[in-house]
């Protein structure tokens, strides 16, 4: 039976250059609905869970269309506040060859960024919810969103609701208003049960431990840093992350790690991700896959394999959303042949 999950964050519109063009190389932009927390909500809905989004969206035709897209994918938007203002946007140009992908944010003064923290009645919003998911993108948007995110995780903790937090560090957003984000992020992680972070996030939050520097692989450094995170944040039960190696824009390798407070660790070495169609939302697909495993009672090994497979599949799906179901992910986990399914 699916669980009830609430994701809190900004619903965005992504305006992308067609194909591999530069932004405005031609006078066309492809539109997708997205946003870190929204991507998790849609993915979990596709995996059979009851998901809802909380946040504030512009009360205009753009907001109507974005909410309609979420309804189409089975996400409950009844907790979303409509308010005057503008939609948050981001512009995306997919990389090609030696040119990396590029993102330009246009989120300042959006309806979500301007929403007062007290607009959210968290006891009511969390009623009947098994898990709250937030990310580091939300506090990076601005002080109102940061205060609202902190109030959300504290209310969830007080109710005994599982809290999931994805680090999602966005320096371009933080640079617009706060050059010392660590204290805010520590406040969120202090209420978290499941964190999607790696050694870089932990170093940002707690400072770099000199004994951990050196030529360690990413997974080994995250294993070492996780011990410090568990010591600093007593509610934290699991840390999960991916390790990505970029060979080219079209060819990556993706591994994953899941560490428990009890000292257990599951690790999957890097697996190929070739012929990439769209990598945006890959981390959100991983988070949703791991949450599905945890909330469905899968063991940690299967949970990690499921999360990594979901992330790898997302690279084959255009747009921000990972529109695959449990059977699709299980088939990749179990190494089913890639023949046409007839």
pLDDT digits (tens, 9 = 90+) for 234-278: 999 999 999 999 999 899 999 999 999 999 999 999 999 999 999
Q: Please tell me the distance from the alpha carbon of residue 238 to that of residue 234, in angstroms, as a whole number.
A: 11
Q: What Rg, from alpha-carbon coordinates, does the chain have?
A: 19
d(CA 95, CA 336): 30
Which residues have CB under 8 Å from 208's CB, separation 6+? none
How many C-beta atoms lie closer than 10 Å to residue 36's C-beta?
A: 24
State the pLDDT confidence band at 208, using cuts at 50, 70 and 90: confident
User: pTM of the full predicted structure?
Assistant: 0.94
- What phi, psi does 80 have (nearest 5°)? -85, 130
pLDDT category at 3 given cuts 50, 70, 90 is: confident
If you write DSSP's letter for every residue of 98-111 in order, what string do you get? TBPPEEEEE-TTBH
Q: What DSSP string runs through 81-100?
A: EEESSB-EEEEEE--BTTBP
- Tens-place pLDDT, residues 306-327: 999 999 999 999 999 999 999 9
pLDDT at 340: 39
CATH code, 4-325: 3.40.1190.20
Q: Does the pLDDT at position 216 exceed 90?
A: no
Please, which residues have CB within 8 angstroms of residue 98's CB and are 6 or more apart in sequence?
A: none
Q: Which two tokens stand for residue 182?
A: 């660590």
Q: Name every residue whose Cβ is closer than 8 Å to that of residue 176 and which is 6 or more positions away in sequence.
A: 108, 142
Confidence band for 97, pLDDT divided at 50, 70 and 90: confident
- For residue 57, count other CB atoms closer than 10 A to its CB: 27
The contacts found for 179-186 with CB under 8 angstroms, 24 or more apart, are 181/136, 181/139, 181/140, 184/139, 184/146, 184/150, 185/136, 185/139, 186/232
Grouping H, G, I as helix, E, B as strand and the rest as coil, residue 17 is coil
In terms of phi and psi (left: phi > 0; alpha: psi -120 to 50; beta: otherwise), the region of 162 is beta
**Averaged over 44-59, what is the pLDDT?**
98
Pick the closest to residue 121 from 24, 18, 6, 40 (CA basis).
6
Average pLDDT of the segment spanning 201-226: 74
End-to-end Cα separation, the chain, in angstroms: 28
């Amino acid at each position: 039976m699916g669980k009830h999950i609430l994701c809190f964050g900004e619903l965005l519109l992504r305006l992308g250059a067609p194909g591999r063009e530069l932004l405005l190389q031609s006078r066309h932009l492809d539109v997708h609905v997205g946003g870190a927390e929204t991507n998790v909500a849609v993915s979990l809905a596709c995996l059979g869970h009851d998901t809802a989004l909380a946040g504030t969206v512009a009360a205009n035709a753009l907001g109507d269309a974005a909410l309609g897209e979420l309804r189409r994918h089975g996400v409950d938007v009844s907790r979303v506040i409509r308010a005057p203002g503008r939609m948050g946007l981001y512009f995306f140009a997919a990389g090609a060859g030696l040119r990396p992908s590029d993102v330009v944010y246009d989120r300042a003064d959006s309806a979500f960024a301007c929403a007062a923290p007290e607009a959210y009645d968290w006891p009511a919003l969390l009623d009947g919810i098994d898990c709250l998911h937030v990310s580091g993108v939300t506090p990076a948007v601005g002080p109102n969103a940061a205060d609202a995110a902190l109030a959300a995780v504290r209310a969830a903790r007080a109710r005994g609701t599982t809290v999931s937090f994805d680090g999602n560090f966005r320096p371009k957003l933080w640079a617009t208003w706060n050059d010392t984000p660590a204290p805010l992020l520590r406040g969120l992680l202090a209420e978290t049960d499941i964190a999607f972070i790696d050694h870089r996030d932990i170093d940002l939050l707690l400072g770099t431990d000199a004994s951990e520097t050196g030529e360690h692989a990413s997974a080994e450094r995250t294993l070492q840093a996780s011990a410090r995170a568990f010591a600093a944040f007593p509610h934290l039960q699991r840390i999960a992350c991916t390790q990505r190696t970029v060979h080219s824009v079209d060819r990556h390798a993706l591994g994953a790690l899941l560490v428990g407070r009890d000292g257990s660790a599951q690790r999957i070495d890097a697996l190929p991700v070739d012929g990439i169609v769209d990598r945006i939302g890959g981390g959100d697909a991983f988070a949703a896959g791991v949450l599905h495993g945890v909330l469905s009672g899968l063991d940690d090994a299967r949970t990690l394999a499921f999360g990594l497979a979901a992330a790898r599949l997302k690279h084959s799906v255009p747009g921000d959303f990972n529109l695959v179901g449990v059977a699709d992910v299980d088939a990749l986990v179990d190494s089913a042949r890639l023949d046409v399914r007839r």
